[in-house]
Amino acid sequence: MTMKTAYRLLMAAATITAWGQAGTMAAQNRLTPESCVEMALGNNARTKRAANELDMAREGRKEALTHYFPTVSASGAGFMADKGMISLDIAPGMGMSMMKNGIVGGVTATQPVFAGGQIANANRLAKVNVEKYGLMNRQAENEVRLTAESYYWQVAVLKEKLRTIATVERQLERLDKDIEASVRAGVCTRNDLLQVRLRRNEMASTRLTVANNLALSKRLLAQYIGLTPADSIDVAFNAATDTVAAAPDALYADPAAALSATPEYGLLQAQLAASKLERKMATGKRLPTVAVGGGYMYDNLTDRDKPFWMGFATVSVPLSDWWAGSHDIRKQKKAVANSEIQLNDQSQLLMIRMQGAWDELNEAYRQTGIARSSIEQADENLRLNQDYYRAGTATMSELLDAQAIYRQSCDSYVEARAKYEIKKREYLQATGR
């Protein structure tokens, strides 16, 4: 029996056993990369924080809009004194004291007419800020997608490694029994038996390490996607039934064309727009501000109620800001220049990153094909060494080496398969998808 046949039989037995344990399987969540991403986007703390920051930016924009509206204020005061604040001499020896107590108050509304463009530019800046946090929210979602898939494939790889170890352990167990019988019959040396048992001990140690790493990886995945770490989770990936990964040719995007779709490029543009608006606001601070207003006033200072209406206009000229403001404007011009430099420089780096991600994706795809073919070759190599050992033309060391090569080939395939899927996600995100 070949290793591949043994592996398939083991998988079939595991499937039958799983069906027999219906209660256990019911408690498991068989996850796919898509379901992991969906749950992570809904439950992960990173996306929740990003969504809250976006909502805060939206509220900031609404707040900026209120600066277009009149400023309404109400004020009032009352006083009491032992002497009147105004004294009148009516005749010799006769006088009158007034305003010993009273109440003054009023309500006024002031509407800005011209503010050097500061209100309009502040609203434009608030809009840019919303766009910026929207792009940062996209970045957070991309980060969560990539991390969730990475955790998924980490669990899948370790799960498949544990399956391969179980297959190898079963084969070593059968080999141990056969060699032990041969030693008793005097046709094999005890050294061969010791080599098999040393290898069994080695595999048992490896199994413990992989099992512990798998348990930890499952807990990390469960926590990241919002499941209780104690929940029993499983991944849907199975190397025995895995189909050949599709070539990535259809995923290619021209870097120059895809640049504008990336959140990183959008953030660079938002930074440049914000710098230009801040420069305009710095200029606006040096300009006069004009406002008109009106109000309803009341006082009883002359022992009579005296309500009245009033209107007014104000003009404010920031004289002292003419000197300090000129330095601020020059500073803001340099900030705009730096934003332009950063936009040009980072744009080139983003396109280089796209091309690099494409090259890595193609490499990962080719590595997957190589690893798959290596399994077939390692399986055949193991079968031949088994036959050679029975024929007495191969040593136990050579047989065990062939077995180790087979296990490494299986591990290399699942690692390459996982890397390909992760590189695919990285490339899609690098090109704004």
Q: 2.40.170.20, 3.90.580.10, 3.40.47.10, 1.20.1600.10: which CATH number matches 3-10+25-72+101-430? A: 1.20.1600.10
What's the pLDDT at 9? 35
Asked whether residue 99 carries a pLDDT value surpassing 90, the answer given is: no
Asked whether residue 322 carries a pLDDT value surpassing 80, the answer given is: no
| 29 confidence band (pLDDT: 50, 70, 90) | low
Asked whether residue 26 carries a pLDDT value surpassing 90, the answer given is: no
Picking from 77-86, 107-116, 153-162, 352-361, which range would have the lowest pLDDT averaged per residue?
77-86
Asked whether residue 98 carries a pLDDT value surpassing 70, the answer given is: no
Asked whether residue 354 carries a pLDDT value surpassing 70, the answer given is: yes
Please state the rounded mean pLDDT for residues 326-334: 82
Q: Where are the domains of the chain?
A: 3-10+25-72+101-430
Q: Which residue has the tokens 């330095």?
A: 327
- Whole-angstrom distance, CA of residue 183 vs CA of residue 178: 9
What's the pLDDT at 94? 59
Higher confidence at residue 89 or residue 167? 167
Per cent of the chain over pLDDT 90 is 54
What's the pLDDT at 4? 38
Please state the rounded mean pLDDT for residues 398-408: 93
What's the pLDDT at 13? 37
Q: What predicted TM-score, i.e. pTM, was given to this entire model?
A: 0.77
| 1 confidence band (pLDDT: 50, 70, 90) | very low
For residue 429 the two structure tokens come to 């995100």
What's the pLDDT at 306? 78
Picking from 217-221, 234-238, 310-314, which range would have the lowest pLDDT averaged per residue?
310-314
